[in-house]
Structure 1
Amino acid sequence: MEQLQHFTHEHMLSLVQLQPDHTNENSDKEDEDENEDKDEVVVEDPLVGKCEMCKEEIYSFHRSYYSCKDCDYSLHKFCAELPTTQQNHPLHPGHNLTLSQNFQVQDPDVNFIETFDSEWICHVCEIDRTMFYNYHCYICKFTMDIVCATMSQQKMNHPSHPHQLQRDLKWLTSHCDACGKKHSGVFYHCTTCLWFRIHLDCALLPAKLLIQKSTNGSFSHLHLLTLYYSPFPYIEQKAKFFPRCRVCDEFFTGNRWYYGCHKCQYYTHVRCATSGPEEAFMSIIRPGGHGMTYKNFKDGDHPNLIHCPFPDESANLLTHQFANKGELVINETIDGQMLSHQHPLILVKTLLNESVSLNDPMKRVELLCDGCVRPITALPFYKCSQHNCGFVLHEWCTRLPFEILDHPDHPEHKLVLLPKMPGNLLGVFLCAICRFYCNGFAYGCIECKYYVDINCGFIPDVITHEAHPNHLLLRFKASAHQPKQGCKACYTYIVTPLGFHCPTCDFNLHTECALSIPRTIRHKFDKHPLSLRYYPAENYSSDYFCEICEDVLNPTKWFYHCNMCASSIHTQCAPVKLECERSTSSWINCSIFAYYNVKFGGRYKMRDHPHLVMFVQGIKDDGQCIVCDEPLQYEMIFKCFECKFALHFGCEEPDVLVIPPT
Structure 2
Amino acid sequence: MEIQHPSHSHPYVLTTDDSLTDRRCKGCGHRGPGPMYACFECKFYFHKSCIELSTQIVETPLHPLHPLKLEAEWGNKCQCCYRFCYFAYKCEECDYKLDPQCISLTPILKLRDPDHLLFLLDKVDFTRELQCDVCLVDFDGPRSHSPAFVCAIPRCDYARHLECSPLPFPESVRHSEYHHYHDLVYTKSAKEGGFSDGYYCDACEMPRDPEYPAYVCKDCEFRAHVLPSLVEKYENDLLARGASLDAFLHYFEAQVLRLRKQKEEKEAEREAKRQQIKALEDELAQYEASEVLK
Range of TM-score over shorter length? 0.3 to 0.5
Structure having the higher Rg: 1
Higher relative contact order (CA 8 A, sep 6+): 2
**Quick check: which one's helix share is greater?**
2
- TM-score with structure 2 setting the length: 0.35
Length-normalised TM-score, structure 1: 0.18
